[in-house]
Structure formats: structure tokens, C-alpha cells
Amino acid sequence: MSEVAVLDAQDVVVRYPGSPPVVAVNGVSISVSAGETVALVGESGSGKSSLARAVVGIEKIAGGRCVSVTPQ
């Protein structure tokens, strides 16, 4: 496996509007290398889909950073 990260997300926060706002993901970090397989597991409502949507750019992140690199 390669040591080059193709996805690097640090301290990601996903927040949905409401009164009060719902914090679905709070300070999650993940790094995925080329060729690596990753599974997000957890209870219903724990933020798995929100995190996945945020790292691929479908959902806006409220905090942190997410960088993806296309392998050469």
C-alpha cells in the first residue's frame, strides 16, 4: 500500500441549521491512503453519512479542512 494520502480530513464539523442547530459531526479526522479500504461504522444517527457527504463535497463543512488528491 502507498503512504500517500488521497483523502485527508482534519477536525471536520458538519452542522445543520435549526433551533438549536444540530451538530452531526464534531471534530472528526481521517486519512486514507491510495489502495486502502475504509469502513465507517457506528450507530444510526452517529454522523457516518454526514461525514461521507462532507468529504466528497456534497455537504458543506462548518469547520476543519478536507483535502483530496487524485493519485498519479
| Total domains, the chain | 1
C-alpha 49, offset from chain centre: 9
Could you list the residue range(s) of the whole structural domain that residue 38 is in?
5-68
Instruction: Enter the pTM of the model.
Output: 0.85
Number of other CB atoms surrounding residue 44 within 10 Å: 5
Mean pLDDT by 10 residues, the chain (72 residues): 81 96 96 92 95 94 90 66
pLDDT number for residue 71? 65
Residue type present at position 54? A
SS3 20: coil
